[in-house]
Structure 1
Amino acid sequence: MSLLGEGSDVDHRGTTFSTELLDELSAAVLATGTGHAVYGNADFDDAVFAGPAVSFGGVTFSGRACFEGADFVCDSTFERAVFSQEARLRRVSFSGRSDFTAAAFAGRADFRQAVFSGEVAFERTVFSGETEFDGAELSGPTDFRHSVFSCQVSFSGSHFTGSQTLFDSAEFSERSSFDGAQFAGRTSFAQVNFSGQVEFRHAVFSATRADFSKSVFLAEAEFGGAVFSRDADFDRVRFEGVSTLGPLMCVGTLNLSGAVFSLPVTVMAAARTLVCGRTRWMATALLRLRYATVDLTDAVGEYPLAVVTHPRRFTDPQDGGILRPIQEPRELRGLDDKVKVRSLSGVDAAHVSLTDIDLSGCRFAGTVHLDQLSLKGRCTFADAPAGMKWRPRPARWTPRRTLVEEHHWRHRSGRHEWNRTEGDAPVVEPAALAAQYRELRKAFEDGKNEPGAADFYYGEMEMRRNDPSTPPGERGLLALYWAVSGYGLRVSRSLGWLVVAMAATVLLLMLWGLAGNEPKPLTTGTQASPGQAVELRTDTPDPVNPAGPLLSRLSTERFEKSLRIVINSVVFRSGGQELTTAGTYFEMSARIGEPVLLGLSVLALRGRVKR
C-alpha cells in the first residue's frame, strides 16, 4: 500500500476486508488537506466487508467504482461519497444498515438485483447518470426523501418489503419506471416532482395507504394494472401532462380530493370508493369505473365530465398488441360492479353526464343546475319502501323512484321504514326537496324521457303537500288530488274511484232516482160546437218517487236503466230518462265528477306511455 496515493487505482476483487484493513487502504489514498480518501478506478467485485462497520463516507471515486457481487456483512456508509464515473453495485448484498445519504452519482449507477437487508438511506442523494435498481430487494425501511434523479431511473421489479418506503420531495427529471415493483410497507411519494414520464404498471402497494399527495406529474403517469391493496391518496396532486390514469385497482379508497387535471383525461379504476372532493378538471374528463362509490362533493368541471360504469374487466395491452383482462383483487370481485354516486353537492351539473349509475344513495342538496344533469343508460334511484304489513297501522307506499334526502326526512318524521341519515349529514326540508324533484323532472323531460319524469313530479307534489309553508287551502287541494288520482299519475287509483263513483250512482238511482211509475203523456181537449176546431193539450205528469221496500227497487230493469244513465253521464250525455228530483241531482253530480275521474285516468295512462 506504500505505493498508493491520492487518486490511485485499486483492485481488490474477492478480498476480505476488516475494518482495520479498509482504514489502512483509505489512509493510503487520502487526499492532502481534505481528510477524505480519493480513489481512481476502484474494483471491489466479490469483495467481503466483514468489519463491525464499513465506511466510505466522504470518499471520492474519480474513476469507475465496481462493487459487483460484493458482500457487506455489517453496517456500511457511503455518506457524502462522490462517484464521478460509473458506479457498479450490481448484486451487492448489504446485511446491515446501508447509508448513502447526500451521496452523488455523476455517472451510471447500477444497483440491479442488489439486496438491502437492513435500513436503507438515500436521503438527499443526487443521481446524475442513468440509475438502475431493477430487481433490487430492499427489506428494511428505505429512505429516498429529497433525492434528485436528473436522469432516467428504473426500479422495475424491485421489492420494497420494509416497514416504510419514502420518496417524499424527491425529483425525477427524466423517465422513471416502477413497473412491477412491490411495496409492502407504508409507501410515500408525497410532494414528488415527476418532470418526465413515470411508470407504475402492475406495481403492487400492499400497505395501509400509498401516499402521492401534493405531487406533480408534468408528463404521462402510467398506472395500468397497478394494485393498491388498501388506500391510494392522490390528494391535491397536479396532473399537468396526464391524459390517461389507470386502469388501476384499489381495494380501499382512491382519493383524488383537490387534484387538478390540466389535460383531457380518462380515469379508469376498479375501486371500492372514489373521493373527488374539490377535484378540478380543466378539460373534458371521462371516469370509467367499476365497483366504486363516488363522492363528487364540490368537484369543479369546466368542461364535460362523464361518469360511466364499465361493464367488463379492464384490459391491458400485452406484447403483440393483444388485450388481456386485468385480474381484479378478490376483495372487489364480491361487490356490485355498478358504480354508485354518493354526492353531487356543490357540483355544477350542467357539465355532468352519468351513465348506468346507481343514484339510490346520492345527495343532491346544493347541486347547481341540477335541471341540466344528463342521465343516460340505466340510472337507478332509491325506491319507496314496500310497506310494513304487520304494523298496527300498515304503511303502504306507492312504488316510485325517490331521492335519498326524502328517505332521511321521512325517517326523522317517524316513518322508520324509510332509510335513516348516515353520519351527521343535515336533513333536507320539504321545500328544498320539492325544488330538487322539480329540477330532476325537468332534466328527464329535456332528455325526452317523459315516463321517467313522472316519479319526480310525484315526489315534487308530495313535498309541496307536506311542506308546512304551503297554504292550508293548497295543501287540502293537493291532498284531494293525491287521494283521487295520485297527482294524475296513478291509473289504478283514478279508475278505482271512477268505478266506485259509478257503482254508487247506479245504486242511488235504483233506490231513489228512477220514478216509481214511468210517467205517460195525457192528452185533453174541448170541442165548443159541432163543426168547429178541436183544441187538444198533452201533458206529462211529474215523476213519482218510488214507493215500497228498498229491496224491491233493486230489480234488473231498474239496474239496466240506472247503468245506462251512469255510463252516459261519464261522457257528458243525458241519460234520456225521467228522474225524480233526487235522481236529477245524482245525475248532475255524476256528469260533473265521473268525467273528471275518467280524464285523470287517461292523463295518468298517457304520462306512462308518452314519448
Structure 2
Amino acid sequence: MGEAWPVCGLEHCCGVRIPDFDHCLRHLEPGQRDEYFDGLSLGAEVDLRGTELSGELIEKLVDAVGSIDGRRAEFGRAEFAGARFPGPVAFEDVTFFDADFTNARFEGGARFDKAGFRDSTTFHRAWFGGPVSFRDCAFEEVGFTTATFSGDTAFDRAKFTSDVSFSRQTFGAVSFGETEFAGEAGFGSSRFTGRATFTGAKFAAAAMFDGAVFDDDARFDDAAFDGEATFDGVRFHAEARFQGAVFTAAERFGPVSAERLDFGRATFRRRITLFAASPSMDCFETRFEEGVTLRLVRQSMLGLERSVFGKASTVTGAASVTSVEGVDVADLVFTDVDLADCCFAGAHHLDKLRLEGDCTFGSYGNRQVLAEERAWRSRRDAPVGPRRIADLYRQLRKAQEDSKNEPGAADFYYGEMEMRRHSPATPWSERVILHLYWLVSGYGLRALRALATLAVLIAVVSTSIWLGGFKTTPAFGDTLVYVAQSTVSLETKLASLPKDLTPLGEVLRLVTRVFGPLLLGLTLLAVRNRVKR
C-alpha cells in the first residue's frame, strides 16, 4: 500500500497497468477489456490502483467476479488505492477479502449496501464527494482514518466486529442508525457539518467523541452505550438529543456545549457527573439510578419532570430549574440554583429537599414566592390554586426548618399563610383572623408593621383618653406617657394625672394592657424569625 505501481502507457494517466497489456482498465480496447473480465472468477484478486472507474466498469467487474452463495461477487485481494470514481458506483451485496481504498475518490456517490468486508479493509484518506451508503454492511477490520464524507452518508444497521476509528474526519449528513459497534468506536475531533444520527446505535465497548463538533442536530435516541462514553469538549451547535439512550458504564459526561440538550427518558446505570453549557436542557423521565452531579456551567433552563434520582444527587451552577413535577426530591440538593420559574406542584417529599448556597425564587412585594403563586396572582383560574400552593409552602418551610435555616423558612411561612387567607376552602371565621394577623404584623414576620400598629394604637387611645378618659382633662403629653406605660403594664408615677378614670377610660386602659404587649410580642417574634439560627 503506497508503493509505486506500473502506470498506464497513456500520458497523464496514473492508473495501474493491467498485466499483459500496456494500459489501465479504462484505456484498454473493448476486446482487451473483455479478455480481462473473462479472466476473472470467484475470489479473484484485482489491482485497479489509480484507475478511473465508471459505474459501468464497476458493474462489469462485479458481474465478472461472480459468486456461488447468492451474493453478487466475492473478491479476494482488491486494490483500489488512489482510484477515481467520477460517477455513481455500486458495490452492493459484494464481499471483499482484504480491500484497499486508500486515497480513493468517490466523486459521484457510492453504494456498498449489504457488502461484507472481511479481513482488513482500509478507506484511509478516501474522499466521498457524493452520497455514500454502507447500510447493512459487515466490517471485520476496517479503517477510515482522515476520510472525508462531503455528501450524505449512511451506515444504518452496519456491524463493526472490531475497533473502528472515524477520528479527525469530516462528515456531511451522516446516519449510524441501529449500527452495532462490537469494539471501540472513535469519533474524536471529527466534524459533522450536517445532521448526525446515531438512533438505536449499540456501542459494546468505548464510544469516544472527545473534541467532536456537530454543526447541525445530533440524534442519539435509544442508543446503548455499554462501555465508556466520552464526550469531553464536544460542541453541539444545534440540538443534541439522547432520548431513551442507556449509559451502562459511563461515569462522566462532558463538559459539552449545546444549543439544547435532551436526555428525556435516558438511563444512567452508574453515578454520573454531567457537565453542560446549554441554554436549554431537558431531563424528562431521565433515570439516574446511582445518582448524579449536574454541573451547569452557564445560564441554562433545566427541566427535571418525572426524573428519577436513585441516590443522593446535586444540581449546581447558574441553572434555572423549570420543574420538578413528579420527582422524588428526598435525595436532591440544589446549590446556587435559580428557582424563580420552577414548578413544585406534583413533587414528592418536598419537605426533604435541600437548598444550599444562593438559591433564588421569584419575588412578590418584598418576599420570595413560588412560581405557582405568581401564576395564580396573574390568573385566578390557574391550574394550581391557593390550597395546594399552601401545601407546597408548608413542605418547603419544613425542609428549611429541618436544615436550621429559620430565616429561609420565614418567606415560605408567609406564603403559606397568604394562600390560606385567600383559599375559598378556609372557613370565613379563620379568614377574618388571618386578615387581622396579616394586617397588624404580616403574620408575625413584619416587625415594622407591628410597631406601626402599636404606634397607631397608642395615638388613638391617648387621644380618646385625653378627650374623655379622665374626669378632668390633663395635659396631652401626660396622657401619652400614661398610655405608653399602660401598654407595657406599668403603673404611672405622674402626679399631674387625675387619679380617677371614666368608664370609657377604664375600657381604653384595658385595651392597651391587652393589645400593647401582644403587638410588642409580635414585633419581637418578627425580629426573631429573621435572625434565628
Instruction: State the distance in 2 between where 1:158 and 1:587 align.
Output: 91
What SS does structure 1 have at the residue aligned with 2:345? coil
What SS does structure 2 have at the residue aligned with 1:342? strand
Question: What does the per-residue CA deviation read over 1:141-160, in whole Å, with 9 as the maximum and x for residues that have no partner?
Answer: 11100100011101111111
Which has the higher mean CA deviation after the structures are superposed, 187-196 or 20-29? 20-29
Residue in structure 2 matched with residue 409 of structure 1 by the alignment: 376
What SS does structure 2 have at the residue aligned with 1:293? strand
Residue in structure 1 matched with residue 50 of structure 2 by the alignment: 46
- Mark the CA change 1:203 to 1:468 in structure 2 (over 3 Å): closer, same or farther: same
- Mark the CA change 1:59 to 1:364 in structure 2 (over 3 Å): closer, same or farther: same
Instruction: State the distance in 2 between where 1:134 and 1:467 align.
Output: 68
Residue in structure 2 matched with residue 570 of structure 1 by the alignment: 487
Residue in structure 2 matched with residue 114 of structure 1 by the alignment: 126
- Count of residues in correspondence between the two structures: 498
2:75 counterpart of 1:61: yes
- Mark the CA change 1:51 to 1:216 in structure 2 (over 3 Å): closer, same or farther: closer
The amino acid of 2:264's aligned partner reads S
Could you tell me which runs of 5 or more consecutive residues in structure 2 were left unpaired when the two chains were aligned.
Answer: 1-16, 63-71
What SS does structure 2 have at the residue aligned with 1:350? coil
Instruction: State the distance in 1 between where 2:157 and 2:27 align.
Output: 33
Contact 2:160 / 2:183 at 8 angstroms: preserved in 1?
yes
1:94 to 65, 84, 106: 106
Shift of 1:226: 1.0
Which has the higher mean CA deviation after the structures are superposed, 19-28 or 574-583? 19-28
Instruction: State the distance in 1 between where 2:27 and 2:515 align.
Output: 109
Shift of 1:16: 5.2
Question: What does the per-residue CA deviation read over 1:12-34, in whole Å, with 9 as the maximum and x for residues that have no partner?
Answer: 99835269576653331123xxx
Residue in structure 2 matched with residue 193 of structure 1 by the alignment: 202
Shift of 1:484: 0.5
Q: Where does structure 1 differ by over 4 angstroms across 4 or more consecutive aligned residues? A: 9-14, 18-24, 50-53
- Mark the CA change 1:350 to 1:15 in structure 2 (over 3 Å): closer, same or farther: same
2:453 counterpart of 1:473: no
- Mark the CA change 1:241 to 1:25 in structure 2 (over 3 Å): closer, same or farther: farther
Contact 1:46 / 1:71 at 8 angstroms: preserved in 2?
yes
1:73 to 86, 92, 99: 86
1:441 to 394, 397, 411: 397
Larger gyration radius, structure 1 or structure 2: 1
2:145 to 134, 138, 149: 134
- Mark the CA change 1:150 to 1:100 in structure 2 (over 3 Å): closer, same or farther: same
2:259 counterpart of 1:245: no
Residue in structure 2 matched with residue 180 of structure 1 by the alignment: 189
Residue in structure 2 matched with residue 219 of structure 1 by the alignment: 227
Instruction: State the distance in 2 between where 1:51 and 1:466 align.
Output: 79
Correspondence list, 1:262-273, <5 A: 262-273=269-280
Question: What does the per-residue CA deviation read over 1:157-200, in whole Å, with 9 as the maximum and x for residues that have no partner?
Answer: 11112xx3111111001111011111122221011110010111
Instruction: State the distance in 2 between where 1:97 and 1:257 align.
Output: 36
Residue in structure 2 matched with residue 608 of structure 1 by the alignment: 530
2:370 counterpart of 1:354: no
Residue in structure 2 matched with residue 286 of structure 1 by the alignment: 293
Instruction: State the distance in 2 between where 1:109 and 1:303 align.
Output: 46
Question: What does the per-residue CA deviation read over 1:244-274, in whole Å, with 9 as the maximum and x for residues that have no partner?
Answer: 11111111x2111111111111111111111
1:377 to 350, 354, 357: 357
Residue in structure 1 matched with residue 346 of structure 2 by the alignment: 366
Could you tell me which runs of 5 or more consecutive residues in structure 1 were left unpaired when the two chains were aligned.
Answer: 1-8, 32-37, 310-337, 385-397, 415-425, 517-545, 547-552
1:25 to 36, 39, 50: 36
Instruction: State the distance in 1 between where 2:428 and 2:370 align.
Output: 25
The amino acid of 2:468's aligned partner reads W
Which has the higher mean CA deviation after the structures are superposed, 89-98 or 505-514? 505-514
Instruction: State the distance in 1 between where 2:203 and 2:511 align.
Output: 81
Which has the higher mean CA deviation after the structures are superposed, 222-231 or 478-487? 222-231
Shift of 1:507: 2.0
What SS does structure 1 have at the residue aligned with 2:425? coil
Instruction: State the distance in 2 between where 1:14 and 1:592 align.
Output: 118
1:488 to 441, 444, 455: 444
What SS does structure 2 have at the residue aligned with 1:128? strand
What SS does structure 1 have at the residue aligned with 2:278? strand
Contact 1:342 / 1:359 at 8 angstroms: preserved in 2?
yes
Contact 2:243 / 2:263 at 8 angstroms: preserved in 1?
yes
- Mark the CA change 1:410 to 1:106 in structure 2 (over 3 Å): closer, same or farther: same
Instruction: State the distance in 1 between where 2:262 and 2:329 align.
Output: 21
Shift of 1:345: 0.4
Shift of 1:287: 0.9
Shift of 1:367: 0.4
Question: What does the per-residue CA deviation read over 1:366-424, in whole Å, with 9 as the maximum and x for residues that have no partner?
Answer: 0000010011111100101xxxxxxxxxxxxx31000111111111139xxxxxxxxxx
What SS does structure 2 have at the residue aligned with 1:380? coil
The amino acid of 1:583's aligned partner reads G
2:238 counterpart of 1:230: yes
The amino acid of 1:70's aligned partner reads A
Contact 2:44 / 2:75 at 8 angstroms: preserved in 1?
yes
The amino acid of 1:187's aligned partner reads A
Question: What does the per-residue CA deviation read over 1:307-366, in whole Å, with 9 as the maximum and x for residues that have no partner?
Answer: 111xxxxxxxxxxxxxxxxxxxxxxxxxxxx20100000000101111111000000110
1:104 to 91, 116, 119: 116
- Mark the CA change 1:296 to 1:23 in structure 2 (over 3 Å): closer, same or farther: farther
2:516 counterpart of 1:594: yes
Shift of 1:506: 2.3
Instruction: State the distance in 2 between where 1:22 and 1:463 align.
Output: 91
Instruction: State the distance in 1 between where 2:82 and 2:120 align.
Output: 17
2:506 counterpart of 1:580: no
Question: What does the per-residue CA deviation read over 1:67-124, in whole Å, with 9 as the maximum and x for residues that have no partner?
Answer: 2222111222222222222x22111111112111111111222212211111101011
Residue in structure 1 matched with residue 12 of structure 2 by the alignment: none
Instruction: State the distance in 2 between where 1:501 and 1:480 align.
Output: 14
2:467 counterpart of 1:511: yes
Query: Once the two structures are aligned, what percentage of the paired residues are identical?
Result: 36
- Mark the CA change 1:374 to 1:51 in structure 2 (over 3 Å): closer, same or farther: closer
- Backbone CA RMSD of aligned residues: 2.0
What SS does structure 2 have at the residue aligned with 1:247? strand
Residue in structure 2 matched with residue 149 of structure 1 by the alignment: 160
Contact 1:13 / 1:47 at 8 angstroms: preserved in 2?
no
Question: What does the per-residue CA deviation read over 1:567-601, in whole Å, with 9 as the maximum and x for residues that have no partner?
Answer: 21122223255142132222221111111111111
What SS does structure 2 have at the residue aligned with 1:108? strand
The amino acid of 1:450's aligned partner reads E
Contact 1:16 / 1:50 at 8 angstroms: preserved in 2?
no
Contact 1:18 / 1:51 at 8 angstroms: preserved in 2?
no
Q: Give TM-score, length-normalised by structure 2.
A: 0.89
- Mark the CA change 1:172 to 1:24 in structure 2 (over 3 Å): closer, same or farther: farther
- Mark the CA change 1:51 to 1:274 in structure 2 (over 3 Å): closer, same or farther: closer
The amino acid of 1:400's aligned partner reads R
Contact 1:14 / 1:47 at 8 angstroms: preserved in 2?
no
What SS does structure 2 have at the residue aligned with 1:191? coil
